Amino acid sequence: ARQQRGSDHGRSIPKIDHDHLLMTAQKIGGRAEIKAAPGRGFWLVWHPSPIV
């Protein structure tokens, strides 16, 4: 039962353009960081800048 490691379920997950994601976060303000996550692709860590 463990053989299907998300083979059909991976298809519904859209490919994410990391560069676009980082640029969008910069436009909003803040700092985005992409960290690899074992078995799940990646984590997006976003540090919003404090609103002054």
Domain boundaries, the chain: 10-47
How many CA atoms are closer than 13 Å to the CA of 51, on its beta-carbon side?
1
DSSP 13: S
**Percent of residues, the chain, with pLDDT higher than 90:** 0
Bridge partners, 41 (sequence order)? 37
pLDDT of residue 14: 62
pLDDT of residue 29: 76
pLDDT of residue 22: 74
User: In this predicted model, what pLDDT tens digit does every residue of 18-39 receive, in sequence order?
Assistant: 778 777 777 777 777 778 877 8
Rounded to whole angstroms, how far apart are CA atoms 42 and 3? 22
Angle at 22 between CA 19 and CA 25, to 5 degrees: 150
pTM for this predicted structure: 0.33
* Closest C-alpha to 37, from 29, 45, 47: 45
